[in-house]
Structure 1
Amino acid sequence: MDRLSQILKRFNLHADVFFSGNLCSLSDFDEPQGKRGHIHILKSGALTLIDHKGKKRAVGQPSVLFFPTGIKHRIVPDPVKGADLVCATIEYEDVTANPIAQALPEFLKFQLSRYPDLKKTAKWLFAEAFDSKCGRMPMIDRLCDIFIIQVLREVLNSNEVSQGMLAGLSHPQLASVITQIHAQPEYPWSLETMAELAFMSRSKFADLFRDIVGETPGEYLTDWRMSVAQNALLKGDTVSVVAEKVGYENGSALARAFRKKVGVSPKVWQQTHLTA
């Protein structure tokens, strides 16, 4: 399985379109708990984007404006033209346990004219969003899901991220190692095994991994296992079952690692999040 499919298979995210049309007045977007992201796709018109730090960006070409973790922002449409937009929330089961959300920058912008694949899907999305055909809402939600996957492809292919998981997946020597870790978190990985996959010495591999990903291979492996564990706990799996899935000999061993990383036991974390 390829480097992106492996992550998307394990961690759910989907788009829920809540607006399509001509935006003619100021709109604020905020997710205080950071549980959802936002994506705005500009079809025509113009707008000014104001982020949570007060920075202003004028956007006058069809573009994608993507806030993966719901950072507060404001859209001010052009007072004459307005702004024809499709806006959606990006829903995660739990944003703090979703490595995709955590690996992306706070904000990404893509001008559609520079990205043929995004432009092609956006054209189809706009055709559905600005029409009144039957089945319109589920159609645009699913098209927006496809659009998100294409945005993630562009992030990987265009080196938009300089450090972290996605930077590692973009690196020719590290991508295969990280993809294998993602596919088999239960495997008894060692630094030597990882280095062999990268066709590097252990020291050179460790240094490169830390420079590109921002943490040691061992730390990354633990983080990935905890993310997979959290995802499985959200699905209702028992601690002992989860331990087997992520490479710990029993529930107690997982609980020690989980508590050290997350701050609470997996059982408490599961009960809190399933109740919420």
Structure 2
Amino acid sequence: MDVLGDMLTSMRVESALFAHLSFRAPWGVAFTTGDQARLVVLTRGGSWVLADCFSEPVWVEAGDCLIIKGDAGFTMVSEVGVEIVPCATIFSKISGVMHEYGGHGAVTELVSGRFYFDAAAAEPLLSLLPNISLVRRADVRGPLMRTTLELVGLETELDGLGAGIVVKHLINALFVQALRAWCEAEGGRTPGWLAGLRDARISRALKALHADIAFSWTIAGLAGHAGMSRSSFAATFKVVLGETPVEYLTRWRIHRAKVLLKQGTAISDVARCVGYETDAALNHAFNRIEGVGPGAWRRATTEEDKKRAAAMTQSGRG
């Protein structure tokens, strides 16, 4: 099983808003994201990025992408020290429309998209991402993401019939590709499941586990898939992933349970699907990790989703 691919699929990424932006120096815009993630793709020129998570301004240029987690603000400027205006003052609420702002100097163009997705399904990935992730064009492996970037640039430049819907789908694909590129470049540098996927032996055990998460896994069984002794596997697993195999299995079972709960699956069916023989066993494990039972968690999450959907329909560009 492709663990990352399975997660990205279950996230059900879809763009909420996107815009093609054209700035002429001097310019400076402060962006807010709310609780939605954002992707910024530069298609022409360059910009300085200012954010609390950066110790100093960071230069980005055509072909570079920024992945911004929800609630993370940032500012883009033609040069440090220019006047900065809030994004809301220059954006309309119509998705996909070209916005122009600034003076009469050098041109910088970018496409900005805001996304919503299943937060429960995305949790293991988002927990690893920094507030702002930078994916450099030069660091992208293979032609797929570069090709998508070029298509976004062409569609926005030509602005032909149906360009808006084409760019929307391209931006959706680009968001997933950018996440994948970050995972390939940065995701294995700290302990966690991405680091496990980069370890040739541990990854074999992880793929087997994720392919049948309801199976009654033992450390010996997982070690067999990894081609390691039981003791060596357990020790290596803890170093690479930062938790024991049992802790990892339990956490992913609860993660999968949350995805199923959000889909409306009956609790008794959820229990069986993730490897618990009884509702009580699921409730005990779920409560230990989440602090509430699965039923209460589902009710609270459903209410949060309703509020988020209502807020999205009222939000403008930003």
Equivalent in the alignment of 1:45: 45
Equivalent in the alignment of 1:105: 130
Report the CA distance between 1:176 and its aligned residue: 2.1
- Among 142, 150, 158, the alignment partner of 2:177 is 150
Matched, 1:133 2:163: no
Distance 1:10 1:96, change over 3 A: closer
Matched, 1:272 2:300: yes
* Alignment: residue pair count: 274
TM-score by length of 2: 0.78
1:208 and 1:159 mapped to 2: Cα distance? 20
Equivalent in the alignment of 1:21: 21
Preserved CA contact (<8 Å) 1:27 1:76: yes
Report the CA distance between 1:197 and its aligned residue: 0.7
Equivalent in the alignment of 1:208: 236
- Asked which structure has the greater CA Rg, the reply is 2
SS of the aligned residue for 1:236 comes to coil
Report the CA distance between 1:146 and its aligned residue: 2.0
TM-score by length of 1: 0.89
Report the CA distance between 1:198 and its aligned residue: 0.5
Distance 1:192 1:67, change over 3 A: same
- Among 267, 272, 275, the alignment partner of 1:239 is 267
Preserved CA contact (<8 Å) 1:95 1:101: no
Question: What per-residue deviation string (whole Å, max 9, x for no partner) do you get for residues 236-272 of structure 1?
Answer: 1121111111111121111111111011111011011
Question: What per-residue deviation string (whole Å, max 9, x for no partner) do you get for residues 201-248 of structure 1?
Answer: 122112221222221111111111111111111111121111111111
- Tell me which moved more, 41-50 or 65-74: 65-74
Which stretches in structure 1 are left out of the alignment for 5+ residues?
Answer: none
Equivalent in the alignment of 1:77: 78
Percent identity, aligned pairs only, is 25
1:49 and 1:229 mapped to 2: Cα distance? 39
Q: Which has the higher relative contact order, 1 or 2, with Cα contacts under 8 A spaced 6 or more apart?
A: 2
Equivalent in the alignment of 1:64: 65
Amino acid at match of 2:137: L
1:170 and 1:156 mapped to 2: Cα distance? 10
Preserved CA contact (<8 Å) 2:254 2:286: yes
Preserved CA contact (<8 Å) 2:188 2:196: no
Question: What per-residue deviation string (whole Å, max 9, x for no partner) do you get for residues 17-60 of structure 1?
Answer: 5221213543333345xx42211111111211112245321224
1:95 and 1:83 mapped to 2: Cα distance? 36
Distance 1:30 1:176, change over 3 A: farther
Distance 1:66 1:257, change over 3 A: same
1:9 and 1:156 mapped to 2: Cα distance? 15
Q: Give the alignment's Cα RMSD to 1 decimal.
A: 2.3
